[in-house]
């Protein structure tokens, strides 16, 4: 008997095609040197991130590149609110200033693992911080010690505000 892996989830399907185009246009307009294809990749990863954060609340952080897509999603407030409602939990964004003292290897690995656990294939190039050749306007550094259980979470679906 041969076992096959279940098909990966399609993050693009979490919002309508028109919504996906609108959010992608926001990423592209914020980053004029970025290709449309890369803007779509970033939005797709941001959708995976939000879906995983809703499923596994607390302690997840996007890469700087994926954060660009998350910010664009948040700017489309109706799309974002409806997405979170469909996912069953509103994923709050709690901004932090960059702080090299918070950087710990493994934090993004924790997030990537959760995205995979949620059933998505990860576009690893977009989880490298910073990504070579893809400029992003976001300047915040998202990384922490989640891999060792000491999370000072920037992305917390359970945040009260």
Q: What are residue 139's phi and psi, to 5 degrees?
A: -110, 0
Asked if the model's pLDDT at residue 53 lies above 60, the reply is: yes
Counting the structural domains of the chain, the total is 1
| DSSP state, residue 9 | P
Quickly state the pLDDT bin for 40 (edges 50, 70, 90).
Answer: very high
For residue 148, the model assigns a pLDDT of: 36
- The mean of the pLDDT values for the chain is 81
Classify residue 57: in a domain, yes or no: yes
List the structure tokens of 158: 């359970």
Classify residue 8: in a domain, yes or no: no
For residue 58, the model assigns a pLDDT of: 82
Query: Is residue 22 exposed (0-12), middle (13-18) or buried (19+ Cβ within 10 Å)?
Result: middle
Classify residue 5: in a domain, yes or no: no
Q: Which domain holds residue 23?
A: 13-156
Classify residue 48: in a domain, yes or no: yes
Classify residue 39: in a domain, yes or no: yes
Ranges of H-type helices in the chain: 17-30, 36-55, 64-75, 77-87, 107-117
Classify residue 132: in a domain, yes or no: yes
The more confident residue out of 26 and 155 is 26
- Greatest distance between any 2 Cα atoms in the chain: 53
> Token pair 């294939």 is at which residue?
121
Query: Is residue 125 exposed (0-12), middle (13-18) or buried (19+ Cβ within 10 Å)?
Result: middle
Q: pLDDT per residue over 86-142, tens digit each?
A: 999 999 988 777 666 666 567 788 899 999 999 999 999 998 756 655 666 665 554
* Residue 82 neighbours by CB distance under 10 Å: 15
Closest of 96, 78, 77, 75 to residue 30, by C-alpha: 75
Cβ atoms of residues 100 and 144 within 8 Å:
no
Q: pLDDT per residue over 76-88, tens digit each?
A: 999 999 999 999 9
Torsion angle of C-alpha atoms 12, 13, 16, 18, degrees rounded to 10: 30
Classify residue 81: in a domain, yes or no: yes
Classify residue 3: in a domain, yes or no: no
For residue 102, the model assigns a pLDDT of: 63
């Amino acid at each position: 008997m041969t076992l096959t892996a279940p098909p990966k989830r399609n993050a693009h399907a979490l919002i309508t095609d028109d919504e996906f185009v609108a959010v992608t246009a926001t990423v592209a307009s914020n980053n004029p040197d970025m290709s449309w294809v890369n803007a779509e990749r970033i939005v797709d990863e941001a959708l995976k991130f939000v879906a995983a954060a809703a499923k596994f609340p607390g302690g997840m952080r996007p890469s700087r590149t994926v954060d660009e897509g998350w910010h664009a999603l948040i700017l489309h407030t109706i799309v974002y609110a409806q997405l979170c409602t469909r996912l069953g939990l509103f994923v709050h964004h709690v901004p932090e200033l960059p702080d090299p003292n918070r950087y710990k290897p493994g934090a993004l690995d924790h997030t990537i693992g959760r995205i995979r656990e949620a059933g998505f294939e990860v576009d690893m190039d977009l989880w490298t911080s910073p990504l070579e050749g893809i400029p992003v306007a976001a300047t915040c550094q998202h990384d922490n010690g989640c891999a060792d259980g000491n999370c000072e979470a920037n992305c917390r679906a359970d945040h009260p505000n």
